[in-house]
Structures are given as structure tokens and as C-alpha cells.
């Protein structure tokens, strides 16, 4: 699907979001390095977010709004549009709308049209209970609400049932089992291998453990982090020197590393891609200092 001027819709929405982020960043007066120092996202990540090269995590948008003293509503709404367009949900939703309009013009009942499933029975949805692990979230409800918008009373009833469904899931299963984390991450386990922890939302504070945190001989501060929901580990370095490299190695996985390339990386926090791991135990984090010095390794 195309936007104004024939541009792909995901590019249009992403450009609008990036422009809004650049405006806020200008208001803060912060450099990319300063943004990285005040948020969990690296200087190179902020460069991609602000120039529309990469869709930022929602949490990065909210963090920039806080730094600028700006209510997050407008930018989060732009993020939702960009996220939907980027993932294809916006395109499929628009196609759905065209199909609905065509059916209405021909007097066709959508629920009885061949090849179409009827809308879920709301009583059945409510009776089914929350998904396994209690993963229903307010964000999920909002997105389902968008998909059924315009469906009339049946759509409203469905969203109401899903709201009840989510509330039940948030309360946790009977018997005292701990509820699952409410956030939706972009990957789990093997699917996270080689992915960026920031863009996959694996680095949310409540979803992360830090089993190793050390200061190396050269003053570099390194961390081994583990995403408890994503099931993957990654390394971080702050106060690195140009030429430093950190590497995370998980049993049976390809080592993942990142190098401090310039002064901006040296002033920021940079992170390795993730390595899938059942737990932090046995994962090794190594620093290879610039200039060929002896490596320093740490284990969880």
C-alpha cells in the first residue's frame, strides 16, 4: 500500500515519527552521546531512530518524551501507526476495510461470504479465559480494537470481552502461580539469536537480569545481561576505548560481539547482538582491549 506521492505507507509513517523525534531531540539540546548516556539505547541506535532508518522501541519514544518534558501521547500514537504499517497490520487492515465496503455495496453478509470466518462469539471468547501464561496485554487489546473498529455493536462487544479476558489474565491463574511478564517481546529463545536486544524489547528493565558487572583494567565498564522472557544473553560496554571489542559466548551458539568504532561509541553504551541461552549460567563475557592487550573474561 502507498501513501502520499506513492511512497510505501510504512516509510511515510516512519518518516513522520522520525521527524517528531528529531523535533523533541532538538528541544532537549542533547547530543546523540548524551541521549545514549541518559537512556538504555546506544548512540548508534539513536542515530538510526532519528533518521528513520529503524523503527525505535516504544520505550525509546517514551524516554525521549520524558527528557523533553513532552506528554507522550502524540508521539506514541505516531509510533503505533508506524509499527502497524511496518509490520503489515496497517496494510491488511486497509484491505479488510476495502473488502467490507465491497460486501456492503453488493448487499453481501460478510459473515456468510464464502472463505470468510465469522466474527468470534464474544461469550465464547470470555469463557475461553486468557491465553496460556497470562500474556494478554493492554497493547494487544488496543490493537484488536483497531482491527474491529467500524464493525458496529459486535466489534464493541468483542473488545469488551477481550478487556475482561485481559483483566483475568493480569490477575494470574488460580492457585498462586506467578503471572507471566506483561510485556510483549519481539522474539523468544532461538529466534532471538543474533538479534538486537533493544529493537526486540528484550532489554526492558523488569525483564532483565545483570549477573556480571565489572570494571576492566583499562577502566571499561562491562555488563553481561540476560533477558528472562527472551531467553538470551548479551554484553554491554560503557567508557570503552576506540578499538575495544566485547564478545558474549553462550554454550552451543555463535559468539556475538561489538567493537568500539569511534569517539561516539566510546562516550555511549554499546551492546552486542543476543546469544540464545537457557539461562545466564555458563555464558561468558570477554573484553578484548584496544592495542592487542590481554583479554579479560567473566562468567555468570
Q: What is the Cα gyration radius of the chain?
A: 23
On whether residue 109 sits in a domain, the answer given is no
Amino acid 183: pLDDT: 52
Say whether 214 sits in a helix, a strand or coil: strand
Of the candidates 127, 253, 109, 133, the one whose C-alpha atom is nearest the C-alpha of residue 195 is 253
Task: Report DSSP state, residue 67.
Answer: H
Amino acid 89: pLDDT: 54
Of the candidates 209, 213, 198, the one whose C-alpha atom is nearest the C-alpha of residue 298 is 213
Are residue 198 and residue 155 in the same domain, yes or no?
no
**Which of 184, 204, 237 finishes a domain?**
184
Are residue 216 and residue 275 in the same domain, yes or no?
yes
Are residue 179 and residue 193 in the same domain, yes or no?
no
Residue 245 backbone class (left: φ over 0; alpha: ψ -120 to 50; beta: rest)? beta
Count CB atoms within 10 A of the CB of residue 29.
Answer: 9
DSSP string, 43-62: HHHHHHHHTTSSPPPHHHHH
On whether residue 262 sits in a domain, the answer given is yes
> Exposure pattern of 191-208 as b/e (b: 16+ CB <10 Å)?
bbbbbbbbbbbbbbeebb
Are residue 194 and residue 141 in the same domain, yes or no?
no
Q: Using the predicted structure, report yes or no on whether residue 169 has a pLDDT greater than 50.
A: no
DSSP string, 90-150: HHHHHHHHHHHHHHHHTT--GGGSTT-PPPPPHHHHHHH-SPTTS---HHHHHHHHHHHTT
C-beta separation of 260 from 242 below 8 A? yes
* Residue 261 parent element (H or E): none
C-beta separation of 268 from 43 below 8 A? yes
Q: What is the mean pLDDT of the chain?
A: 73
Amino acid 223: pLDDT: 94
pLDDT tens for residues 13-72? 888 888 889 888 888 888 888 888 889 898 888 988 988 888 899 999 999 999 988 888
Specify the length of the chain in residues: 300
Are residue 61 and residue 161 in the same domain, yes or no?
no
Are residue 227 and residue 290 in the same domain, yes or no?
yes
Task: Report DSSP state, residue 252.
Answer: T
Are residue 201 and residue 288 in the same domain, yes or no?
yes
Cα–Cα distance list, 235 to 221, 228, 283 (Å)? 11, 15, 10
Distance CA 247, CA 236 (A): 9
Split into its structural domains, the chain has a count of: 3
Of the candidates 247, 258, 259, the one whose C-alpha atom is nearest the C-alpha of residue 283 is 247
In terms of average pLDDT, the best of 20-34, 138-152, 193-207, 235-249 is 235-249
Domain extent at residue 162: 119-184
Are residue 291 and residue 203 in the same domain, yes or no?
yes
Say whether 76 sits in a helix, a strand or coil: helix
On whether residue 126 sits in a domain, the answer given is yes
Task: Read off the CATH number of the domain in which 61 is found.
Answer: 1.10.260.40
pLDDT tens for residues 66-118? 998 888 888 899 899 888 877 665 444 444 444 444 444 444 343 333 333 44
Of the candidates 42, 203, 198, 62, the one whose C-alpha atom is nearest the C-alpha of residue 20 is 62
Longest distance between any two alpha carbons in the chain, whole Å: 76
> Exposure pattern of 102-139 as b/e (b: 16+ CB <10 Å)?
ebeeeeeeeeeeeeeeebeebeebbeeebeeebbbbee
pTM of whole model > 0.75?
no
Q: Using the predicted structure, report yes or no on whether residue 285 has a pLDDT greater than 60.
A: yes
Q: Which of 43-57, 134-148, 193-207 has the lowest mean pLDDT?
A: 134-148
Are residue 196 and residue 219 in the same domain, yes or no?
yes
Amino acid at each position: 500500500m502507498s501513501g502520499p506521492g506513492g511512497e510505501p505507507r510504512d516509510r511515510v509513517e516512519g518518516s513522520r515519527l522520525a521527524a517528531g523525534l528529531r523535533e523533541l531531540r532538538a528541544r532537549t539540546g542533547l547530543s546523540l552521546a548524551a541521549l545514549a548516556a541518559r537512556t538504555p539505547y546506544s548512540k548508534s541506535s539513536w542515530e538510526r531512530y532519528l533518521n528513520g532508518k529503524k523503527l525505535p522501541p516504544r520505550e525509546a519514544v517514551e524516554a525521549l518524551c520524558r527528557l523533553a518534558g513532552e506528554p507522550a501521547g502524540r508521539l506514541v500514537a505516531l509510533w503505533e501507526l508506524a509499527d502497524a504499517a511496518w509490520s503489515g497490520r496497517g496494510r491488511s487492515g486497509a484491505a479488510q476495510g476495502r473488502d467490507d465496503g465491497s460486501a456492503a455495496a453488493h448487499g453481501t453478509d460478510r459473515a456468510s461470504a464464502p472463505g470468510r470466518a465469522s466474527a468470534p462469539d464474544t461469550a465464547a471468547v470470555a469463557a475461553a479465559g486468557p491465553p496460556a501464561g497470562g500474556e494478554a496485554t493492554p497493547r494487544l487489546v488496543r490493537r484488536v480494537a483497531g482491527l474491529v473498529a467500524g464493525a458496529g455493536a459486535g466489534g464493541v462487544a468483542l473488545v469488551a470481552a477481550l478487556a475482561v479476558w485481559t483483566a483475568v489474565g493480569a490477575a494470574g491463574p488460580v492457585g498462586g502461580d506467578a503471572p507471566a511478564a506483561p510485556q510483549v517481546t519481539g522474539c523468544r529463545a532461538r529466534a532471538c539469536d543474533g538479534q538486537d536486544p533493544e529493537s526486540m524489547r528484550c532489554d526492558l528493565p523488569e525483564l532483565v537480569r545483570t549477573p556480571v558487572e565489572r570494571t576492566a583494567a583499562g577502566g571499561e565498564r562491562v555488563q553481561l545481561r540476560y533477558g528472562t522472557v527472551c531467553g538470551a544473553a548479551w554484553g554491554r560496554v560503557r567508557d570503552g576505548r576506540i578499538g575495544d571489542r566485547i564478545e558474549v559466548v553462550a554454550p552451543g551458539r555463535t559468539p556475538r560481539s561489538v567493537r568500539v568504532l569511534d569517539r561516539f561509541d566510546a562516550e555511549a553504551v554499546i551492546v552486542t547482538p543476543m546469544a540464545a541461552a537457557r539461562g545466564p549460567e555458563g555464558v561468558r563475557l570477554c573484553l578484548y582491549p584496544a592495542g592487542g592487550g590481554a583479554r579479560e573474561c567473566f562468567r555468570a
